[in-house]
Each structure stands twice: as structure tokens, then as C-alpha cells.
Structure 1
């Protein structure tokens, strides 16, 4: 059965008033690839009744009052991406389509959805039970943050939304703790992985520069982010205080990461791997094509790319599911109506981090003094997981009904190179069986001074990987993701990349992404402060729309030249 989305479905379960009502900016897809579905299933497994209101209309009461008031709390999320990213392009143009909305029209998610939905609840339920914020939008906007759409530093979304508590990161532990305390009539208090508001700071917490200071002073904003990122690393770190006017945001320490057994349990809950029939009638949900038969193998990412929020949201510690659990999920997928033998994606934030890590990560306490991978190379203490993933792939290929397995998640080529023992064999297996004819990598650039700001591998590492790929499979196709207008990047840098691509990669990328400043990333801090976080020196940041577009066109608009160079979606190396 699906989690109820109507009164009839709720009554069918013998429930008149749900314990928790979850509200989402995405439509409801009952899949372990959907955050709202995971939270709903976790609460149900703990014995609580749940109802879901997906993409409620904000100009009327019908949707938000559908189930009345929940018994314990509301849960609010903007969806799987920040609503500003979902609604606007990097150049500020409105997006017309949305894969997470029936009919693919981007007309159901309001701007600043977390705030809009909380206000909607307050409008029709004046003195209601606690409102809990969660999801990526709330997580990345939990402290004072730079908002690209308004071009200003905004307060914590917890204050602007006037909610009661905010869950950041992967929220299963925190939401269970919250709901269990409410059930027992206990105050919420200090719950790891949450933020609350108080009239006084906690003496044992570290003070961040106050909102009023970081809103006006860019150096103070950079100092705030440095403290924030340092103390968000591990559950062993102290919490944080940040003053907003006469109130204090209390940022409690991160939750302890789930272990493999707990992750297995969550991903084996009774998901339907589909959208409810009533939602299906509203139109096609395009995201379902990708995620319905896909399997998540792990969580977390220690890549720490400066522009990426995954490490901040999911954590640097990679937690992998057991191969037995993944095989059981695959066996269930083969029984679904419409399954034709292909798993379209087997992976996580970075596919080849499955089974990898180090002793520090196993303790939930990754190093504070260095990056695991990136511009400075791969940490020698890192235990690679390529062998484990190859064994997993072999086990899945033996499952009756599975004909092919694709890995569409990102591949870190620097990890392949660093794994002297199994990297080459892993690459051969990928190219021959699991990439659908195309090797996708994300070098993002070729200029080392830009790559350093991005914390991506140096250009020579990319060149070494391309040579390896050609030696392994000369006829393999290669494509890459590229970012233009990143802080520290000039049009000259992009022109240099275009020449590098023609010379070394033998193609000119057609798809070039203009850097989007998303809240609470290092790159966004650089973009706003215009300061080099390492030296404190002034940093060039292209902020004009025409200049940002010109950087993109320096690559995407450059004509292919030279023997063997071409522009196409799939490129032969």
C-alpha cells in the first residue's frame, strides 16, 4: 500500500487523524530514491500513522486542510532540490519543466517552498502542533546564507519560516527522535542533527558571527562559513550559536551516521516503486523512469567539491549497504510490473565510492586537517571499494530476470587511478558492461588555478586517466561535465579549456553548466565574498549575466577544429 494521500486511503487503514502529515514540493513517488517516501516509511515502521500532501496549492485551502491537523507534527520539505534551483536557471531564467511534477510542467512548486508551505499551515491552523522543516532546502539554509536570487544574505530559514525545529542532513534519526519525544510529551530540547531557536546561546557551543554582521561584512561571512564547515564535520564537534536579532539559532551537533545494518533496513521497507494511481492520472512523472528500477548502494561523499552540497547534506562518511540487501532489492524489482531486465542506475552520490572509506570514517569522524580526495590528490589512508563493487555487480548479474546493469551515477576517475590493484580491472568492467556506451566523468575544468578553487583533480590527472581509458578500450566514448563562471574563472580560462578539450580529449563539450551559487557551499562563499578562502586575497568572480554566458559560449560556442575533433553528445576518444 501507498502512504495515504487521500481521506479514503487514510480511513482504509483505520486512521481518522494521522500522527504526522508530510508536505513536499515534489510529487509523491513511493521509492527509496525519494526523501519524503523514506521519512514516511521510517515513521510507519516505528508505529506512527502518516499522510502525505504533495505539492499543495498555496492559493486555496483545499489541499493543506485535506487531513485536518496532525496529532503530533507537520513535516515540511521543498523537495529533492532547493526550490530556487528547481524554479530558476543559473542565469535567472524561469524553468518551464520539472521531472518531479505530473505532466512535467513546473507550475506546482512555489518560490521559497519551505517558507511558503509553513506559512500555508499557519494561515489555516493558527496554533498548531510543531512544524518540522527538513530536506535539502532547509538543510542548506539552516544558518545565515547567501541567496543568489535576491543577491543578499538571508536569515536562517527556521526564522523566516517561523517553524519550530529544523532537521538537517539525512533525517531518519532526528525525525524519529522528534516524533517519539512528542508522543511522550517531552520537550524537543537538544536533538542531534537539528536546529532550534532560543533567547540565549549555549555556553558550550561555538559562536558564529551574528547575522547582522555577516549580512553587511563579506569577510565576516567568510569567517562564518569557515567555522560552520569545520564544526559540521562530525558528531564529535560542539554545536554552534548564531545570533539573529534578539534570538539565537542553536545548531546542535550532527547526528551519528547510520550504519550499514540501519541503511539496509531503511532501503528494504515496503516501497511500491511507483506513484499512486490518483497522481498518475494527473500526468506522467518523468523522474519515475530513472528511479523506479534504480538501486541506491550507499550514502555520503568525501569528494568535497567546493560547489557541491552533497558532503554537507549527506556527510563525508560513506556508508554502504550490504551486498545481500542490494541483491534482495534487485530480486524485488524484477517482480514489478513493467520491469524489462535493466537496472538503469546502481550507485549513490559517487558510484565508485561504494565500499570505500577509512578508519576515521568508520568512526563517523573524518579528518579535519585535509581533504580525502581532490586537488591535492587521494589520501593514502583511503581504502578503495572497486573490488567490492565488482563483486556486487557479479552477484546482481546472477539474479534471475536481470539482463543488464547500468551505472549512471558519477565516477571519480582519480579514485580509479589511485587504486593500483583493482582500478584498471574496474574500468574495463565498467566500459564493457555497465556504462551504456558512454564514460561520463566530471573534470569540470582543465586550468589548475580554477581546479584548485573547485577542489577537483589537477589537469594532469585527467590526462593520465584519458590515456588509461584509451589503452583499456580505444573505442570507448567519453563525455564530461564542465562548469563555466566558477569563482576564480575568467573567459580566458574557458578559452584555454576549449583548446585543451580539442587537443587532449578530441571533442568540444556541448553541454556546459554555468555555475549556480547554491546556499552554504564554499564556492558560493567565494562568489559572495569575492575572496580567496586560502589567502584572503581578492578573487575575480564573474557576476554579470552577459559575462557568465560569454564564459559558457567560449566552450560551447567554439567550433571544433583539428583532426579527429568533433562536437557531439557522445564523443570517441
Structure 2
């Protein structure tokens, strides 16, 4: 039976660290210099270049395994056209761990309009084309060619959000679990520290006993079982329920989704209901003559465990082999930043964090963050500026309510939407304490916040200390915030507050900025073409922008990536929260018109804006008056 791990499963002592090289080995020579002729226990294959920084999943998992005594090697961005790169370390003793990197490979390779990207921030010099489409499938195929029967486990964001049947925007189909397409043994979803250590222990035991690994009870793990299989019999038995502490729930089969795409709304609604580790069931999805068995999510790490993970011996730099190519651009954003928390209870429909990090907030301790800041200060390249202190949402630094600490997040409601929950505990005290302590460190000139502020949560805090300190100390001239839209129906589909909430925040922000005599500005993020956004809603957004005097330099088109509520709406035309139909601006012409309305003042957009306004029945907005969005055609000029 797989060992049951407690809440302190990740805690380690400094004595567990062996003398380690500055980087995990990328080449056979580097591996032999560290470990001699022994084989690697784990080989991590990644679609990203190797950056030894805790913001990069390959480094985090590699360092974690190393801290537990495992020999780890890395194959970063291998040439997938043959098996040579995959064979450089030989056969691993326990498993290959395969990830596409910090991004889904299709998102990394293609824009929202499905055009190939010209740059890849996770590749040397930003060069595009160094990872294949659907990296998990391609990499596992080459591994299987090179080493018959070797154990392969998938992980990372692409694996997490494709663990079950999912809508795939690039093929416009419902694809089955990537575990089946890749023909891997296991899939690890979410933030997988406890999952990978439990799997490693199970694989170790299996090697010692010459048996099959017992992985049935490992949280955060997905596997495939066949019908009329003893593993399947265990799943539906009461004994299995007693072991896992959870019931089993059957999802609509993959074949049912193919036959009727709207069933994906039912499928996704069940996933949302069972996304919290305290209440989730084991999900079982039939697919042909097999079943995808999706174990409940892992419990969030404690503060002590999260501190331990982020204080592993990262060198916080890209591997030296990338220096000639210009380094790794993605490192620059995070090199002098601190991750202060994990998890997000914001509940934005277009975000996949619910399934990847969960809704329960785990903060880092102030002491751990100060220790990490001292490492930044000691870096010769540090200029005195900490670029960010935050997480998915910077000012979410404590659990949403006391109940989440004991029974998890509610499965039947969100914390902030459609209205703030009465049990929501709004408190910026601990986060402010961290920021103040960082500002006092010798060598620190400025501490910025760039990872996003939930302004609706901020406004719920009757104590305005955080707003005042944010404006006074933590902005580099501009603060990026995310109202996302102005249309009420679109904001409801997005799970965002009404635009009046943003306007209230904007007034307070500029009042405070003026009071302290600074020139600082809000830069709102906006999304065009989101489900729920009709032309009427897009016109409403354009009018809001005209009133506010802000026209965005860049417009973000809605991107239907796997694992989000918004993508389910896009695929089915149904809102899984209500099971009611929702408008989806699918056609490229419609999307172009909505995008043009967000930049209505640009002459190149005039024709499209006029067309959109006429289609929306708002020709009154074409002209030269104060309320007009766009001038008439030249031959109509007075």
C-alpha cells in the first residue's frame, strides 16, 4: 500500500541536503561529475529551457526530488525529431517525468488567432520553434521508442488542464485525456510536490519488491484502468472509498461528449464541484474500453512546507549553456521577485487556477521571504529593486475565511462573486507587514507589486492602509488592474464585479495619488470577444473607455485555453454554472469588430467601428459630436 503522507510530508532538514552542484545536470558529463557512473533516478524532460529558479516547475520539482536524495537529470528542449537527445542519460532507475514547461505548448506556440508566435520567452534568446506542438505526446512517444517499458509520468500546466476530456481550441474538438494520447503511465495535476514524492516512494517500493507500484491512494494522480480489471473493481468498491476517504463520481463518457458537445457543460460542472481537496470525489471518466481515474486533489501545503520548497538551493539563474544565445527572457520578470503566496479565490471564469493551484491561500512566512530577499540583495546584478511580491493575486495573502482552513472552499459558491460572501475575511495586515519589512532591508530601494491586485477585495477593507501604502510605495508609475470589461452581461460571465466597483477604486486611487503629489496611472486589462459579449456589450465598453479617457495600446483577445469555465462556455454555448445558453462571439468577423471597438480612435479601425455601430443599431455614435466614437466616411463629411 502506498505510504500515507501527513501534512508535514514535505518538511526536511538541512542535513538532508547533500553537497550539490550549482545546477542540476543537463549533460552526461555534468551528471557523472556529480554522481559517478550511477543511473539517474528521475529524468525530467521539459519543453522549457532549464532555469534554476522556483518560478520554473522543472527546477522546483528537480530540486525537491534532489533534497530527498534522488539523483535527477534534466533534458531541456530536446530535439524531438529522433531519440538521440532522449537517450543521453540512459534509462532512469525510476521514471521519466515529462512536462511541456510553464505554458501549454499550444499556447506557447500559437496566438489567440492561431498564428505561430514569433518569440518564446522560455527559450534561449526568445527563439520560437524549440518545442513541438502537443509536447507531452511527442516527447513520450520518443521516450517509448528509446526505452521500451520505461515508466513515464506527465506533469505541469499542460498535463493538469488536459487530464480529462477537454475542449481543444486549435483543432476545435473535444479531445480525450492527454494521458491516453501520450500513452504515459501516470499524470500528476496541480502543484505536485506531495504527489511527486508519494509517487517516487511508490516507485521505489515497487523496484525493491519487484511488484507493480501501488498508486491508488495518491492524491493529485491520474491513471488509466481497463474494464474488467481488478483496479477498476477496487475503484467502485466500498473498500476503495474507505482508503481514499472520498466517494467516486462518474463523468459523462468521452464518447458522449463527442456525440453531443453540449454534454461538456455537465462534464465541466462536475469537475468544478470536485476541485477542492476537502470535498472532492474520485472522478471516473469512461473512454472506449478504459477508464480515466482522477484521484482527488492534493491538500495545499502548509506555510512551513511552502517556505521549505522555496528555500531549496536554487541558484536563480539560467543554465550557463544559454549565455551565448542571450539567456532566457522569462527569467528577467521573476529573477528579482518573491512569491509570497499560492492559491487564488478570485474565481475568474477565464482563469485555470482553480484546477491548478486551488482556491485555498497558503502564504509564505515573513521570515522566509526576508531570507530570500537577502539572497536577492547579495546578487551582484541586484540594483535595489524587488520587482514583485505576490502570487496569483498579490493581495490575497490569507485564506478567504476560517472555514477554508478546516473544510476547504465551498463547492456551491464563490468567495467574491456575484457578491462577496458574508464569511469572507478581508485582511491586508500580514501582507502589509511583509512589505514594510522588505522596504526596511539595507540595499532595498523600492519594492514593487506587479502580480495583480483585486480591487474589489481591496475596497472591502474598511482600513485604507493598504491602498495608501500601495500608492505611496509600491507602484512604478503605473498600476495594472483587471476590470476586463464594462458590459454587465460579460462581466457576469467572467465572474467579475460590476464596472461601478472599478470606477469607485479608480476614484480612490487618483484621490490618494493626488494627495501625496505623485503622477501615477491605472492601466486596465481588457478582454475582447469573451463569451457573453455581444456587439451591444462591446459598444458599452467603448463608451466606458471614451468616458474614462483611456484607450488601450494593446487588446487581449479571449483565448479559449483548456481548463477554464470560459472555454467551456465557448465550446458549448452554455454557462455550466446555470446550464443556460450564453452568447458566444465565435466568428472572426465578429471578433474583429469587437476588438476594433476597444481602439475606436485609431483611423485604421474606423471602417470596422462604423460597421459594428450600424449592426448594433448605434449609428448615433458616428459623427463629430461629443458623444461620437468615430467620424463618418469622408464623402459624408460636412
TM interval, shorter chain, is over 0.9
Instruction: Indicate the residue corresponding to 2:596 in structure 1.
Output: 553
Deviation at 1:357, TM superposition (A): 2.5
* Alpha-carbon distance in structure 2 between the residues aligned to 1:143 and 1:273: 34
The answer for the alignment partner of 2:409 in structure 1 is 366
Report 1:2-21 matches (<5 A).
2-16=23-37, 17-21=39-43
Aligned to 1:326: 369
Tell me how far 1:441 sits from its aligned partner.
Answer: 0.6
Runs ≥4 residues deviating over 6 A: 560-563
1:120 pairs with 136, 142, 155, which one?
Answer: 142
Kept in 1: contact 2:585–2:591 (CA 8 A): yes
Counterpart position of 1:231: 274
Q: Distance in 1 between matches of 2:592 and 2:220?
A: 39
Identify the match of residue 125 of structure 2 among 85, 88, 103: 103
Deviations 1:54-95 (A, max 9, x none): 111101333211111111011011111111111111111110
Q: How does 1:261-272 map to 2 (within 5 A)?
A: 261-272=304-315
Q: What is residue 390 of structure 1 aligned with on the other side?
A: 432
Change (3 A) 1:315 1:535: closer
Q: Which residue of 2 aligns with 1:456?
A: 496
User: Conserved in 2, the CA contact under 8 Å of 1:491 and 1:554?
Assistant: no
What's 1:284 paired with? 327
Residue 532 of structure 2 corresponds to 488
**2: distance between equivalents of 1:310 and 1:14?**
37
2:256 corresponds to: 213
Alpha-carbon distance in structure 1 between the residues aligned to 2:530 and 2:386: 34
For residue 332 of structure 1, report the CA deviation from its aligned partner. 1.1
Residue 447 of structure 1 is matched in structure 2 by 487
CA distance in 2, matches of 1:314, 1:562: 49
Q: Equivalent residue for 1:74?
A: 96
Partner of 2:201: 180
Q: Which range is displaced more, 94-103 or 214-223?
A: 214-223
Distance 1:501 1:188 in 2: 54
- Structure 2 unaligned runs (5+)? 1-21, 207-212, 237-246, 604-623, 630-638
Structure 1 residue 364, shift from structure 2 partner: 5.7
> Which residue of 28, 35, 46 maps to 1:24?
46
Aligned equivalent of 2:419, options 362, 377, 383: 377
Q: List per-residue Cα deviations over 1:161-186 (Å, max 9, x = no partner).
A: 00000000000000000011111114
Residue pairs, 1:469-548, within 5 angstroms: 469-474=509-514, 475-503=519-547, 505-548=548-591
TM-score (ref. length: structure 2): 0.85
SS at match of 2:78: coil
How far did 1:535 drift? 4.4
Q: Quote the Cα distance in structure 1 between the aligned partners of 2:260 and 2:343.
A: 33
Distance in 1 separating the partners of 2:285 and 2:577: 24
Task: Give the Cα–Cα distance (whole angstroms) in 2 for the partners of residues 268 and 532 of structure 1.
Answer: 42
Is 2:177 the counterpart of 1:156?
yes
Paired residue secondary structure (1:351)? coil
1:435 aligns to 2:475 (yes or no): yes
Partner of 2:226: 199
Report the count of equivalent residues: 561
Query: Residue in 1 aligned with 2:18?
Result: none
- The one-character-per-residue Cα deviations of 1:117-169 (angstroms, maximum 9, x if unpaired) are 111111211222x1010000000000000000000000000000000000000
Within 5 Å, give how 1:52-67 maps onto structure 2. Answer: 52-67=74-89
Separation (CA, whole Å) in 2 of partners of 1:44 and 1:281: 28
Change (3 A) 1:547 1:397: same
CA contact (8 A) 1:97 1:106 kept: yes
Q: Residues 364 and 75 of structure 1: is their aligned pair in 2 closer, same or farther, counting only changes over 3 Å?
A: farther
TM-score by length of 1: 0.95
CA distance in 1, matches of 2:375, 2:625: 50
Deviates more, 1:186-195 or 1:340-349: 186-195
The aligned residue for residue 569 of structure 1 is: none
State the alpha-carbon separation in 1 of the partners of residues 546 and 370 from structure 2: 42
Q: What is the rounded CA distance, in whole Å, between the counterparts of 1:43 and 1:368 in structure 2?
A: 33
Structure 1 pair 540–236 and aligned structure 2 pair: CA distance change class (3 A): closer
Q: 1:168 to 1:419 in 2, by over 3 A?
A: same
CA contact (8 A) 2:136 2:182 kept: yes
8 Å CA contact 1:18–1:51 kept in 2: the answer is yes
In the alignment, is the contact (CA less than 8 A) between 1:488 and 1:540 conserved in 2? yes
Further displaced range: 53-62 or 552-561: 552-561
1:267 is displaced (CA, Å) by 0.3
Indicate the structure (1 or 2) with the bigger Cα radius of gyration: 2
User: How big is the shift at 1:450?
Assistant: 0.8
Q: Matched residue of 2:567: which SS? A: helix
Shift of residue 384, structure 1, vs aligned partner: 2.6
d(CA) in 2 for partners of 1:161, 1:532: 30
1:562–1:397 distance in 2 versus 1, CA, 3 Å: farther
Contact in 2 for aligned 1:235/1:255 (Cα 8 Å)? no
Shift, 1:559, TM fit? 4.6
Gaps of 5+ in 1: 567-573
Alpha-carbon contact 1:431-1:437 (below 8 Å) kept: no
For the 8 Å contact 1:20–1:75, the answer to whether it is kept is: yes
CA distance, structure 2, for counterparts of residue 92 and residue 429 of structure 1? 42
In the aligned structure 1, how far is the partner of 2:60 from the partner of 2:278? 22
In 2: Cα distance, 1:80 partner to 1:363 partner: 31
Q: Give 3-state SS (helix, strand or coil) of 2:593's partner.
A: helix
Q: How far apart, CA to CA, are the structure 1 residues paired with 2:387 and 2:81? A: 38
Structure 1 Cα separation of the partners of residues 122 and 575 of structure 2:
37
In structure 1, distance between residues paired with 2:142 and 2:475: 44
